[in-house]
Amino acid sequence: MAERSFAAEVEKLKIGDGEVFRGEGILAITKALLECGVGYVGGYQGAPISHLMDVLSDAQPILSALGVHFEASASEATATAMLAASVHYPIRGAATFKSTVGVNVASDALANLASGGVTGGALIIVGEDYGEGSSIMQERSHAFAMKSQVWVLDPRPNLPSIVKAVRDGFELSEASNTPVMLQVRIRCCHVHGQFIASDNQAPAMTVAEALENPRRDTSRIVLPPASYAHEIEKVNKRMPAAKAFVRERGLNEVFGPKDGKVGIILQGGMYNAVIRALQRLGLADIHGDTEVPLYVLNVTYPLVDGEVLDFCGDKDAVLVVEEGQPNYLEQAIGAILYKAGARVTLKGKDPLPMAGEYTGAVMLDGCRAFLAEFAGQLLPDQGRAPNAAVAAPIGSKLAETVPMRPPGFCTGCPERPIFAATKLVEQELGAHHIASDIGCHLFSIMPPFELGATTMGYGLGPASASAFNAPDAKRRSISFIGDGGFWHNGLTSSIGNAVYNQNDGVIVVVDNHYSAATGGQDLLSSRETNGTKSTKHPITEALKGIGVTWIRQIDRTYDVTKVAATLKEALSTEATGPKVIVASSECMLNLQRRERPLVAAAIKDGERTVKPRFGVDEDVCTGDHACMRLSGCPSLSVKKLDDPLRDDPVAHIDQSCVGCGNCGEVAVAAKLCPSFYRADEVHNPSAAERFVGRLRAAVIGWLQARREARRLVFG
């Protein structure tokens, strides 16, 4: 299994009533689930909620003792479909996944779940991966919630508020018979703090007990005529119940003076950014006491009309702080105010930008601009920034001096040689249409490889190349898919589709033994034994089972020559149907997590160990750097020589090298210079090796001294 341990985090889950829990936000959510008596949890890993899945996986003994069922789901749709257990039974269930990409995949199950409604609390924890730290398309999950009538919680980014939101989410779901989405941004998942814990609670009904007492209610099934009644129920019963619960329980919060001519309505997740901006403007202190009234929407859907009107009633102007676009909240609040005949001026996506993350500088500028227009007297020095450094265009200045750092493969990554081989094949056969996929292998679109034209979704690389299945074409398309995407969606949507439609393209399955991009979680095809999951199911067997006949397995991707030859064979064979290459080597991060502690322990115990290292012979290297254009390894850089007769810097391998050998393999496959060498670093050598080492040092020293004596020296 993946060499990851969350033993320390798991121990925190045992904390009881009255004890202080300290940690980060995502772990607080895990603890809150147990305190709320959750009966089952499912999910699919992905930033920023991977940590939740990893901790739950390691905490299965604790969960089992409470009667809580946990599954690492095959996809986000699988996780959401699990919540069906809360439709008929009073069991609290939770599902978790990454942002809009997860909601996209889960949307079918989510829509059906929301239509029929739930009896037990159903909580969907969505890691809202938006902004400068995001790895996906810039969208919001809010639209899915509105479309399916799922309520959205967006808590303030501190641990007590996060834990309270989990409890409120379950209770709101049960009070309105509706699934609830708990939206947590990156800054919320990884904020650190503390809260007073409660005892973990066993579920009121376990899934095992539900199996012994099966229930059904035809009116909950999404089929006509029940599906028509569901919509009426949402409007006439569930929505009013949700709004009443939100207002009666005070889930939204108001801070600052009760009266004031201006105010700010904000998403709960933006509270820290807003209060920090007000602090820098001299309008709030470090405790959060603010001179500007704040209406904090810990529930961003549905909005409570009465609360909005109460807050805006005595205001001349209100600023809506809503990160991302479209401006759903601003439009909804504007409609509420218009229908009530309110005369307050509503601002949002004008002092603040329409799109992009609301960073500290953005928030400061937006709040200052709003206050300068409508409440200039509140600003200590109208028209001048309180911090000149903030007002300066920092980003543009950095861009002038600091080069861009595009994402790339880790040092020693076994996927790098696959794309070096692809580059070599294209140099020989010409360019091909290459479809990429989600995962580490997507870094191939960046320098130095610059391969790949599209990426349409997780496991959809080969599917996105299906339009190029032209019988009269003289060359084939190439598509890549990772082992994570293969098991998530690709087996049916990409491979099955290619078989069924007799696609003649080439598909490369990049198999690094784990769902590496999301943190190294195990998969069906992982090579190691997992104590709680079934692994060791070869990808090649699944390919055969679905009908692929042309399959090639490569078990060492660092053999660039073999990878290139296999790819050429796939592109030129007369065989019809999809040609699938499974290129396998273990993720270097997981390999190093396992091997480094073992090697360190062996060295400490005095055992003889050999660590391979690679280098570049400076006398042989010509300085053309072709090796870098086919590698891109972070450990491969340049070095300026002291020799005045050689102006060009030579290639250089630094101390971060993990000894994978890719650089030498590329040099051989591409017929580059033979400047790469391997040196074995021996720890705790034998007596014979020490003697040979001393002898070598003596001979080399004598030869160096003789050369120095013959060197021509100018006085």
Residue 386 confidence (pLDDT): 47
Instruction: Kindly report, residue by residue over 479-513, the tens digit of the pLDDT.
Output: 999 999 999 999 999 999 999 999 999 999 999 99
Q: What is the pLDDT of residue 715?
A: 60
Name the E strands within 204-267. Answer: 253-255, 262-267
Residue pLDDT, tens place only, 423-460: 999 999 999 999 999 999 999 999 889 999 999 989 99
pLDDT at 562 over 90: yes
Give the confidence band of 387 by pLDDT, cuts at 50, 70, 90: very low
Question: What is the pLDDT at residue 259?
Answer: 86
CB neighbour burial string for 585-619, b if at least 16 within 10 angstroms, e if fewer: bbbbbbbbeeeeeebeeeeeeeeebeeeebbbeee
Measure the CA angle with vertex 351, ends 345 and 357; round to 5°. 130
Cα torsion 161, 371, 319, 367 to 10°: value is -50
Cα angle: 387, vertex 193, 126; to 5 degrees: 95
Q: Which of 242, 349, 238 is nearest to 299 (CA)?
A: 242
E-strand spans in 150-267? 151-153, 180-185, 192-196, 253-255, 262-267
Q: Domain residue spans in the chain? A: 15-248, 252-401, 416-590, 608-684
- Residue 265: pLDDT band with limits 50, 70, 90: very high
Side by side, the strands of the sheet bearing 317-321 are 253-255, 294-297, 262-267, 317-321, 345-347
Report the topology of domain 15-248: Rossmann fold (3.40.50)
What is the CATH topology of the domain spanning 252-401? Rossmann fold (3.40.50)
CATH class of this structure's domain 608-684? alpha beta
- pLDDT (tens digit per residue) in 613-649: 888 888 888 887 878 888 888 888 888 888 777 778 8
Q: Are 126 and 240 in contact (CB under 8 A)?
A: no
Strand pairing partners for 436?
455
* Per-residue DSSP letter, 521: B
Looking at the whole model, is its pTM more than 0.85? yes
Q: List the structure tokens of 648.
A: 């060009």
- Going from the C-alpha of 490 to that of each of 166, 382, 419, 467, 468, the distances in angstroms are 33, 58, 20, 16, 18
For residue 390, pLDDT over 70 is answered with: no
Give the H or E element holding residue 42. strand 40-43
Q: What is the pLDDT of residues 185-233, one digit of tens each?
A: 888 888 999 999 999 999 999 999 999 999 999 999 998 999 999 999 9
Mapped onto helix, strand or coil, the DSSP state of residue 26 is: helix
Is there a common fold for 252-401 and 416-590?
yes
d(CA 395, CA 290) in angstroms, rounded, equals 29
Q: How confident is the model at residue 517 (pLDDT cuts 50, 70, 90)?
A: confident
What distance separates the 2 farthest-apart alpha carbons in the chain? 103
| CATH superfamily name and code, 416-590 | Thiamin diphosphate (ThDP)-binding fold, Pyr/PP domains (3.40.50.970)
Q: Which of 154-158, 270-274, 353-357 has the lowest mean pLDDT?
A: 353-357
The fraction of the chain above a pLDDT of 90, given in percent, is: 70
In this prediction, residue 225 carries a pLDDT of: 92
DSSP assignment of 59-128: THHHHHHHT-EEEE-SSHHHHHHHTTHHHHS---EEEEEEHHHHHHHHHHHHHHHHHH--SS-EEEEEEE
Residues linked to residue 180 through DSSP beta bridges, in sequence order:
123, 151
CA distance 144 to 76: 14
Q: Tell me, what DSSP letter sits at residue 409?
A: P
Look at residue 396 in the predicted model and tell me its pLDDT: 60
- What per-residue confidence (pLDDT) applies to 381? 67
Rg (CA), the chain: 30
- Mean pLDDT of the residues in the chain: 91
